[in-house]
Amino acid sequence: MEKPIVFFIGKPGCGKGTQAQLLSEVTGWPVVGTSSGLREIVAAGGAVGRKLKETMDAGLLTPYWFAAYVYLKILFSIPEGGNVIFDGTSRTLPEAEIVTESLKWLGRPFHIFYLHVPDDEVQKRISLRKEKEDRRDDHVVDKRLEEYYASTEKAIALYRKTGILTEIDGHRPREVIAAEVRGILKM
């Protein structure tokens, strides 16, 4: 049986990247995401890179069509029989619809894990992350949470309604969460 393409979604600082990396260490599947693809475009510079940097530095989500472009570019580059783990992809309702439709069209199984953590925990985690990493978007955590509630919750509702979402309590030790994810995926 073909293994599913895996997605981790949730609030900023919920542990998406950590869980994606832990699953990657077990499966060997690469971790990809629209955020890393967007950061590559920023690093390349130019007018698009500058506009994208402005948007990201302000803590705003990129237009859904831009994120969808990066997602589809990644999806269509997966070799036959290959697999990936998406970190933080499909944060808006139009993106969630594109993810669902594209994978159904390709006939690829997929699994979406929603790591749920309370806002005060997000604040604490991002504060700690600010001390360790230089993530400019972490300086606008309130704006990022506002964007989450305005956009990402609609994507989560779609996934929940279609039955392809697994909600996980992200307010536990990362090893416990990783074991739960592997158990759900039967790995």
* Residues 166, 177: Cα–Cα separation, whole Å: 12
Q: Which residues make beta-bridge pairs with 6? A: 85, 111
Q: Find the CATH number of the domain harbouring 118.
A: 3.40.50.300
* Residues 105, 21: Cα–Cα separation, whole Å: 27
Residues constituting the chain: 187
Give the position of tokens 């992809």.
89
Tell how far CA 169 is from the center of its chain. 16
What's the pLDDT at 149? 86
* Residues 187, 184: Cα–Cα separation, whole Å: 8
Tokens of 20: 């994606």
What's the pLDDT at 64? 86
- The 10 Å Cβ neighbour count of residue 33 is 24
| Domain that includes residue 71, residue range | 5-185
The phi and psi torsions of 7 (rounded to 5 degrees) equal -125, 140
Q: Strands 110-116 and 165-169, how do they pair?
A: parallel
Number of domains in the chain: 1
Mean pLDDT by 10 residues, the chain (187 residues): 89 92 96 83 90 85 86 91 89 92 94 93 78 58 82 91 93 96 94
Element (H, E) at 157: helix 153-162
